[in-house]
Amino acid sequence: MDERDIHDLIANARAGRLSRRRFVKTMVGLGLTAPIAAQLVTAGGAAAQPRAPSFVPTRRGGGGSLRVLWWQAWWQAPTLLNPHFATGTKDQDGSRIFYEPLAAYDPEGNLVPVLAADIPTVDNGGLGRDGTWVVWNLKKGVAWHDGKPFTADDVIFNWEYAADPATAAVTIGAYRDIDRVERLGDHAVKVVFKQPTPFWYEAFCGQNRALIPKHLFGAYKGGKSREAPTNLKPVGTGPYRFVDFRPGDIVRGEINPNYHVPNRPFFDSFEMKGGGDAASAARAVLQTGEYDFAWNIQVEDDILRRLEQGGKGRAEIFPTGSIEHIQCNFTDPWREVDGERSSIKTTHPVLVDSAVRQALSLLVDRASVHEEIYGRQGQATANYLNAPARYSSRNVRWEFNVNRANQILDAAGWKRGADGIRAKDGKRLKFLYQTSTNAPRQKTQAIVKQACAKAGIDIEIKSVVASVFFASDPANPDTYPHFYSDLQMYNTSTGVDPLWGMRVFTSQEVASKDNKWSGRNITRWRNEEYDRLWKGAETEMDPVKRAALFIRMNDLVIQNDVVIPVLWRNGVAVAATKLRGLDLSGWDTYLWRLPYWYKA
């Protein structure tokens, strides 16, 4: 973080765009004491104090239309609106307009009640000290958009629905280790786990754990799950009711007059629009003012700074657990077995050689990607798992070294041919490297391609339209879970608790035709030690020992060059100057506080 970044943080804190608590924590992380950090916010007298907003809503509605842009990648417009089938953030966020979880995560990773009446703890009697059970008290007076009451039966159904393998829900991992969910009345359930569960709040909480109604989905559990009409016409408990949905294009909602939070929401209607590119999305908020908010603004930082100077909006930048990374395919994407490419029954003809993967890691110039493209929007890292801080490994280092990459390939027997491309045993070091279409990713591809050429590796670059690359359609061969290339790059989040995020390297999660490519292990890498570590973290209640397990998992992934971390990403969005109440969190969907958004 340079001097300009620190000045930006101070300005955001003084203007009220960054909470005082988050500012102080950030400065303490840079080595300042808390009192000095606090003085930076208040320095300059009364004129420098955050000003109270000129308007705070005191009644429901009256705010007109809220228009937002989900411009691309996982953040293109949704293709379906069932949170249990949301393979990417676009579908998670589209669903979250209408559906809600029991609890959400605030910017510090704390649980905040949504459909729950309170957060269970050992002290309030809601959580078993041994981690084998939790009692959720539900908020009373909540109704689905069609007027039916939200009850304990809906919570029980969501467990039954997601845990059924025939449903093929991407959320199955959060629910399959629940032994039973007991009804304690209309507004309370007891969740009993099969074993001690330190991440007891994984089920029913956070980004894609929103609840769907039993009375509309009950007939579509299991093999008929994809046939439910409500997959495209949601009926939830959220602040907005469904109006219109054109998959891949636009979602519209209208105010829920019976929303369970008094005086909320502020806006009368909501529109989520997809399409375009990051730069045009940023301009639509910061220059033209056509839209109120745009998420995941993947443009070079210099461009973003220039757009902010127009005065119509601001950038919202905040820490996350997101990692931009390159994946190595451990299966053969070019050979079909039983009607499936990248089948677990195959191995990659070249990337199975650890020397090749090691060389590729040395050929990713992370410093240039950071400095030339992302700036304040991230930092170079050697780790896949970077946050929260207690899970970040200090055992690995990254290096950009073309000479060393050449030495490793020479020692492994990969010889340069007449065209300069290395080969061994009739196999050439030529790879297809794919990612979604956006300028920073294409520039990253170019940086990697240039370095690889110096080591005798031929890289063919492919960019896939984001709405295709991150689609949920199992019949689409160009989605990232199919991984029909040698290398691919995208951004994902390891989560507020790494159990879900690190599941993506377990053998049980391999993406395949059998599970309709809903498995989260996209690389198809399998390692018995890793599986044992992850299994241990499922039940380890000692937080220090559990953190050590995750650190070792990260080290195995990096030391085996399963993935090549490129950048630890910050969350970046843009918002209209008058848009307030966002309180964006790196641990949940950007819409986690949607009912509380308003214009001053």
The token pair that represents 165 in the structure block: 């393998």
The residue written with tokens 């629910």 in the block is 175
| Domain co-membership, 271 together with 402 | no
Amino acid at 346: T
Using 50, 70 and 90 to split pLDDT, how confident is the model at 72?
A: low
Q: What is the CATH number of the domain that holds 504?
A: 3.10.105.10
- Domain-ending residue, one of 231, 249, 271: 231
Cα separations (Å) of 347 from 333, 432, 434, 544? 9, 16, 19, 37
One domain for residues 430 and 539: yes
Question: Is the pLDDT at 4 greater than 50, yes or no?
Answer: no
Domain boundary (183, 214, 231) is at: 231
Window from 15-29, 48-62, 163-177, 481-495 with minimum mean pLDDT = 15-29
Residue 44 pLDDT more than 50? no
Q: Which CATH number fits the domain that encloses residue 221? A: 3.90.76.10
Domain assignment present for residue 78? The answer is no
Judgement on whether residues 187 and 123 belong to the same structural domain of the protein: yes
Q: 238 φ, ψ to 5°?
A: -75, 180
CA 425, CA 569: separation in Å to the nearest integer? Answer: 39
Tell me, yes or no, whether 92 lies in a domain: no
Residue 504 neighbours by CB under 8 Å, 6+ apart: 492, 520, 521, 522
Token pair recorded at residue 174: 């959060």
Whether residues 334 and 376 share a domain: the answer is yes
Number of domains in the chain: 4
Quick one: average pLDDT of 215-238? 95
Complete DSSP assignment for 223-248: GGGGG-GGGTS---SSSEEEEEEETT
**What range defines the domain where residue 157 resides?**
99-231
3-state secondary structure of 218: helix
What's the rounded mean pLDDT across residues 51-75? Answer: 75
pLDDT digits (tens, 9 = 90+) for 177-212: 899 999 999 999 999 999 999 999 999 999 889 999
pLDDT of 439: 86
- Average pLDDT of the residues in 369-392: 93
Which range has the worst mean pLDDT, 33-47, 473-487, 554-568? 33-47
Please give the Cα distance from 568 to 455 (Å, whole number). Answer: 26
Q: Which of 224, 220, 254 is nearest to 239 (CA)?
A: 254
- pLDDT at 91 > cutoff 90: no
Residues 442 and 498 in one domain: yes
Residues 430-459 as b/e (b if ≥16 CB within 10 A, e otherwise) read ebbbbbbbbebbebbbebbbebbeebbbeb
Q: No. of H helices and E strands in the chain?
A: 17, 21
Give the model's confidence band at 50: pLDDT under 50 very low, under 70 low, under 90 confident, else very high.
Answer: very low
Q: For residues 113 and 178, state if they share a domain.
A: yes
- Same domain membership, residue 454 and residue 589: no
Which pLDDT score, from 0 to 100, does residue 453 have? 98
- On whether both 284 and 324 belong to a single domain, the answer is no
Instruction: State the pLDDT confidence band at 562, using cuts at 50, 70 and 90.
Output: very high
Q: Is residue 79 part of a domain?
A: no
For residue 528, what pLDDT is reported? 98
Length of the chain (residues): 600
Evaluate whether residue 116 is within a structural domain: yes
Domain boundary among 231, 248, 274: 231
State whether 170 and 291 are in the same domain: no
Q: How far apart are CA 17 and CA 29, in angstroms?
A: 19
390 or 71, greater pLDDT: 390
Give a yes or no: residue 83 inside a domain. Answer: no
On the question of pLDDT at 591 being above 80, the answer is yes
- 226, 294: one domain: no
Does residue 11 surpass a pLDDT of 70? no
Same-domain status, 545 and 478: yes
pLDDT of the residue at 15: 44
Overall pTM > 0.85: no
For residue 24, the model assigns a pLDDT of 59
Q: Does any domain span residue 89? A: no
What pLDDT was estimated at residue 206? 92
Tell me, yes or no, whether 294 lies in a domain. Answer: yes
Q: What mean pLDDT is reported for the chain?
A: 90
Q: What is the pLDDT of residues 116-162, one digit of tens each?
A: 999 999 999 999 999 999 999 999 999 999 999 999 999 999 999 99
C-alpha 367/C-alpha 379 separation (Å) is 8
| Higher local confidence (pLDDT), 280 or 3 | 280
Say whether both 119 and 212 belong to one domain: yes
pLDDT for 276 = 79
pLDDT surpasses 50 at 36: no
Q: What is the pLDDT of residues 487-515, one digit of tens each?
A: 999 999 998 999 989 999 999 999 999 99
CATH of the domain at 278: 3.40.190.10
Say if 405 falls within a structural domain: yes
